[in-house]
A and B are shown apart, each in its own frame.
Chain A
């Protein structure tokens, strides 16, 4: 007999009709946003309001600078624009054309690219592990990849800040890397988390349950707690999952920042004395505009950032702006994201709970016995029906009645993802193609190929994940090859001959041009990059604030570490929760 609860009290749920801009059901943007005119020279012009751009915009505004953020996509009203629906959420993804090739072509769009205020943080699954100390010295330790120009300990204070600002829910004791604890309580387990715990435990593998994820396990301020509906990567209407749209953008606007939505950056202009003067962009009506700025920060992520630099080539920089090293577009990375799917006799119903809710980093570090450098994590994933059907198509060759049959068993399957470190290679690269997009801007072309170490790592990670799935009791397993996340392609480093930006994201070539997004990562570890990108943005902000107006009128490069400014956190975030830091 079916059970019907009838109607909610007061009838069907309706959209709020208060004509306010809603970020989640409770949070609203109250004051009108400050507006600058294009010929007004602002202090910082930020291109892209995603993970990096959102945090940077908020801090620079709070630091008293006049800042404008250009964002190619819309400024979401989550109640009006977002839906609890897989097919209906494509507007959140960057679906402008990209041409993909190489021996192992990457896919884009829903897989790794966001569009609209909040960028990729709107549709990330919100796993937020820190990088390990070893990630910052991969070359020194293993002779592969690259070293970072900073260490884990430089970034650690910013990890701690951002973990409270988002905030991150997780266990009180997290054993890997630099061991630490989380201030906000871990989430309850869903079906897939239980599979990971059971499989790992029976093999003697340590496992972290209920986080770290940037999803609220309890309400905080004007953000409700998670309701476990599983639509994280379709945009969290609940407002429980952190995105810079709801964590940092409201505070940026309250402090005088302007966000100019549906503004597609086209070209960065170089003026006299080797300094940039602003950015030309196409506004929402398709008219070309030019915004003047004393300094420009590109936060476009691993494809759009190099694309914009390459498209801004000029007489002084024929191969692309800030590209005297020839590394713009090179060393693009994606993580191995193979999905292992297992069928269980009992029901799992993996659509419930956030896809991200348990993981193990037991295989993260290099183990010489394995025959390859670096490692991988194993994480829960919870594909909704369309994603699962496509996985069955790829992994099991399902079609026709075979597809209908396996889909009728959707509720019996669980999915675990490998998250494996692929090393930076110069031939994994973003270039400009001969084709142009709807704005007349050259379409990016991406080439991606696995190298020997990557292939060995993926093979090992896949087998280990299959072992875990079988140990959990799966009676049939299949796996799908795929890649997750994007970083690199404008990497930071000490040597201007082999990197694009310095340790604070300032381009080696041009003193008032910065990059603050995932593209500056020299290596990627096997941790999801979102937290690290935001922590780096907070650090870059501290640096820029310390530099004051020097950035605007001097080419001097002061590398003094800035003090950590804890008072720049959005209100009501710092010193909240119950810190149980190791």
Chain B
């Protein structure tokens, strides 16, 4: 994303864009990477590779990649991050699809993940053309966000009915957003942003209660911000359980 196309969050008092920064979030100065010599060697090496060895694009074609880049920038926007601190998302999704790695299951009403991604791109392009007579990439930021919101809400703009018959829209949406968050929140800069302590072996945590920080963690310092003007993904009242009839089943192991 070029700087002049940024849609950064706004200051709620002035409604002016907040300048992009190195580390958004409420934990200024917190750095998990600064503690990495306290991590075990295997974890340190894994996180180093994640930050420095960005895999090449092999699954998506150059045209598909451009469109996927744009989609990721809506599902997981980073316009509050400066250019040097953007977290690459698409290369890691591409890598998973290229290596045909799965989460260990496929819903019987879904095609394999790679095919689902391609069908989704086709559907989005058809929806853009049916409603605005333009390619998805030629839509304004706002139009792109609204199109993707219609998919997220399970009420897609007309134009791709055939595809949504072959692939349940809520499963497609869960697949792509799920992959985006899996990449973004695996990055140590995202850990810093949300105040997650990160790897802690062999050193340990010892302040377990009342949300108290370890000596190397920092206190929370909140600030108010508004989503960008052109964005429709941060409603003031969260639209809970969007797909009431088809809530996406929990995927992770938590207990």
B39 touches which one: A2, A84, A101, A190 (CB < 8 A)?
A84
A356 on interface, CB distance cutoff 8 Å: yes
Distance A109 CA – B231 CA, assembled complex (angstroms):
35
Q: Which residues of A contact B203 (CB under 8 A)?
A: 8, 227
Give the contacts of A322-361 with B (CB-CB under 8 A). Answer: 337, 339, 346-349, 351-353, 355-356
B88 on interface, CB distance cutoff 8 Å: no
A484 on interface, CB distance cutoff 8 Å: yes
B42 on interface, CB distance cutoff 8 Å: yes
Distance A79 CA – B250 CA, assembled complex (angstroms):
30
Contact: B233 with A87, CB < 8 Å?
no
Among the listed stretches B129-137, B155-163, B178-186, which one makes contact with chain A, having 4 or more residues with CB under 8 Å of it?
Answer: B178-186
Q: Which residues of B contact A83 (CB under 8 A)?
A: 40, 42-43, 46, 199
- Give, as a whole number of angstroms, the nearest-CB distance from B21 to chain A: 13
Q: Which residues of A contact B248 (CB under 8 A)?
A: 393-394
A495 on interface, CB distance cutoff 8 Å: no
On whether A390 and B40 interact (CB within 8 A), knowing A353-B208, A397-B239, the answer reads no
Distance A79 CA – B221 CA, assembled complex (angstroms):
37
Chain A CB count within 10 A is highest, among B102, B209, B247, for B209
Q: Which residues of B contact A191 (CB under 8 A)?
A: 208-211
On whether A339 and B250 interact (CB within 8 A), knowing A12-B37, A397-B239, the answer reads yes
- Give, as a whole number of angstroms, the nearest-CB distance from B36 to chain A: 8
B215 on interface, CB distance cutoff 8 Å: yes
- Give, as a whole number of angstroms, the nearest-CB distance from A360 to chain B: 14
Contact: A4 with B255, CB < 8 Å?
no
Chain B CB count within 10 A is highest, among A107, A237, A395, for A107
Interface size on A, residues (CB 8 A): 111
Give the contacts of B130-168 with A (CB-CB under 8 A). Answer: 145, 148, 152
Q: Is the interface of B mostly helix, strand, loop or mixed?
A: loop
B254 on interface, CB distance cutoff 8 Å: yes
Contact: A402 with B238, CB < 8 Å?
yes
Give the contacts of B25-58 with A (CB-CB under 8 A). Answer: 25-26, 29-31, 34-44, 46-47, 50
B44 touches which one: A5, A8, A12 (CB < 8 A)?
A12
Give the contacts of A46-84 with B (CB-CB under 8 A). Answer: 79-84
Contact: A112 with B182, CB < 8 Å?
no
Distance A296 CA – B191 CA, assembled complex (angstroms):
47
Mark contacts of A485-526 with chain B using CB atoms, 8 A cut-off: 1 yes-contact digit, 0 otherwise.
000000000000000000000000000000000000000000
16 contacting pairs across A/B (C-beta < 8 A): A87-B182, A99-B107, A227-B205, A229-B201, A337-B250, A337-B254, A349-B213, A352-B207, A397-B241, A402-B233, A403-B233, A408-B26, A480-B247, A481-B249, A482-B250, A484-B253
| Residue ranges of A at the interface with B (Cβ–Cβ < 8 Å) | 1-5, 7-8, 11-15, 25, 79-88, 90, 93-101, 104-113, 123, 125, 127, 188-191, 194, 227-231, 233, 237-238, 337, 339, 346-349, 351-353, 355-356, 379-387, 389-391, 393-408, 410-411, 415, 417, 419, 445, 478, 480-484, 528
Q: Given A482-B249, A484-B255, 14 other A-B contacts at CB below 8 A?
A: A1-B29, A13-B40, A97-B106, A101-B108, A227-B204, A337-B250, A379-B255, A387-B252, A400-B145, A400-B233, A401-B228, A402-B234, A403-B181, A481-B250
